[in-house]
Amino acid sequence: MEILDGKKISNDIKQEIAEEVAKMKDRGEKVPHLAAVLVGNDGASLTYVGSKVRTCKKIGFESTLIHLPEDTSEEKLLAQVEALNANPEIDGYIVQLPLPKHINEQKVLLAVDPSKDVDGFHPENFGKMALDMVSFIPATPYGIMELLRRYDVDTTGKHTVVIGRSHIVGRPISILMSQKGKAADATVTLTHSRTQNLKEFTKNADIIVSALGVPDFLKADMVKEGVVIIDVGITRVPDSSEKGYYITGDVDFDEVAPKASHITPVPGGVGPMTIAMLLKNTLLARKRQN
Ligand code: NAD
């Protein structure tokens, strides 16, 4: 069994980006600038955004955090998005989800300039991705693809079962892995909460990408020997530690790992890859602005 070490690979990617940024600086070029908009004080969102901004600094990017109060109106947020679209200093930006309930998420995502949409959530980018055109690929599926590529995991013709059909993970990874190319060319089945007899699919899967958000959902009796496991799930489970919670994935790691040929841990698997690929997208945005 081989661990797909997202922490290590994400550090390699960040190092590669940092070297490229240093060269840009030496040439007197503008360095990539990522902005993040956060509305409210959701604990997980604060952690994610904080980590994104800190990592920008480490690799030589410029970064801007725009933290708006929970009661920010939709109109105000849309005005902020327009300002970011018009600001030539900003190469790419993200609007951290989820947004408070009184704001229409779709309306906000549609207002993002697709050339600065480094999350890859705008329909223009999603459509281009589905049609094999140059686009911004959402960071989490992009990170999964990169992890599979760098570990040379054979996906050609392999039966890949994706659990979860979200717009940010399940749906895009099912498209990407069915396309032509490295870490792709797979035969993909997309499953979800209405799938009947899920176990019949997972037991026959060569590769399982689990993105549903239910701790320890995938058990040993649901997988076959030699399976490749990509655990996207991140759930905070309350405990008596100082933090008040621990992080766990969708896969019962202790049970499933002995049967797997490759497996991502949680934490330290897909999570760190997501941040690395967001930075990669921001670098691409900077290059494409030229
Ligand atoms: P979501 O929370 O929007 O939706 C969950 C999906 O799981 C739905 O499509 C639903 O149909 C499916 N589902 C629910 N119960 C099911 C069942 N019993 N059988 C089969 N399918 C079922 O999905 P999401 O936003 O992709 O998040 C999923 C998990 O991934 C969460 O834990 C989230 O925190 C995590 N996540 C991690 C990263 C990362 O960087 N590693 C990024 C995004 C999301």
CATH number, domain of 108, equals 3.40.50.10860
Same domain, 213 and 148: yes
Tally of domains within the chain: 2
- Does residue 98 belong to any structural domain of this protein? yes
Q: Is 52 a catalytic residue?
A: yes
Catalytic residue chosen out of the listed positions 5, 80, 91, 96: 96
Task: Domain of residue 233: give its range.
Answer: 139-271
In the reported structure, the alpha carbon of residue 25 is separated from the centroid of ligand 1 by a whole-number distance in angstroms of 39
Q: Is residue 287 part of a domain?
A: no
- Measured by CA distance, the residue closest to atom 18 of ligand 1 is 193
Residues 154, 100 share a domain: no
Measured in Å, residue 210 CA sits from the centre of ligand 1 at: 8
- Residue that the structure tokens 């990170």 belong to: 143
Distance 98 CA to ligand 1 centre (A): 14
Q: In the prediction, which pLDDT does 191 show?
A: 98
Q: Which two tokens stand for residue 29?
A: 């070029």
Annotation marks residue 23 as catalytic: no
- Does residue 144 sit in the same domain as residue 265? yes
Same domain membership, residue 249 and residue 150:
yes
Query: Which of 7, 146, 191, 193 should be mutated for ligand 1, with most atoms under 8 A from CB?
Result: 193
Q: Is the CB of 271 under 6 A from ligand 1?
A: yes
Is 4 part of a structural domain of the chain?
A: no
159 and 234 share one domain: yes
Indicate whether 266 and 143 sit together in one domain: yes
Domain with residue 265: its CATH number is 3.40.50.720
What gap in Å lies between CA 211 and CA 192, rounded to an integer? 10
Is position 289 annotated as part of the catalytic site? no
pLDDT the model gives residue 290:
80
- Residues 146, 267, single domain; the answer is yes
Q: Do residues 149 and 265 both lie within one domain? A: yes
Q: Is residue 120 part of a domain?
A: no
Mutate to test the pocket of ligand 1, among 234, 246, 281 (most ligand atoms within 8 A of CB): 234
Same domain, residue pair 161 and 238: yes
Residue 88 lies in a domain: yes
Do 224 and 148 lie in one domain? The reply is: yes
Report the pLDDT value the prediction gives residue 162, as an integer from 0 to 100: 99
Whether residue 187 lies inside any domain: the answer is yes
pLDDT < 50: residue spans in the chain: none
Residues 143 and 266 in one domain: yes
> SS3 of 245, please?
strand
Q: How far is CA 61 from CA 8, 20, 24, 66, 162, in A?
A: 20, 11, 11, 16, 34
Residues in the chain: 290
